[in-house]
Copies of this chain bind each other. A is one copy, B any other.
Amino acid sequence: MPTNRQILLDNRPQGEATASNFRLVSSETPALRDGQVLVRHHYLSLDPYMRGRMNESKSYAQPQPLGEVMIGGTVGEVLQSRHPRFQPGDAVVGMGGWQEYSVVDADQPGLLRKVDTTHVPLSYYLGAVGMPGVTAWYGLTQIIAPQAGETVVISAASGAVGSAFAAVAKARGCRVVGIAGGPDKCRYAQEELHFDACIDYRQHPDIKSMAQALKAACPQGVDGYFENVGGYLLDAVLLRTNAFARIAVCGMIAGYDGQPLPLQNPALILINRLKVQGFIVSEHMDLWPQALQELGSLVAQGRLRPRESIALGIESAPEAFLGLLKGRNFGKQLVKLI
Contact = CB atoms under 8 A, between A and B. Distances in A.
Contacts of A276: 269, 274-277
Interface in A184-199: none
Given A60-B243, A243-B60, A273 B267 contact: no
B277 A275 contact: yes
B59 A266 contact: no
B252 A270 contact: yes
A277 B274 contact: yes
A121 B279 CA distance: 45
A60 to B, nearest CB: 5
Contacts of A266: 230, 234, 249, 252, 261-263, 266
A168 to B, nearest CB: 21
A58 B271 contact: yes
A60 B270 contact: yes
A251 interface: yes
A260 B264 contact: yes
A251 B270 CA distance: 7
Nearest to A246: B277
Contacts of A58: 271
B278 A255 contact: no
Contact of A261 (B267, B271, B283): B267
Nearest to A267: B252
Interface in A231-264: 234, 243, 249-252, 255, 260-264
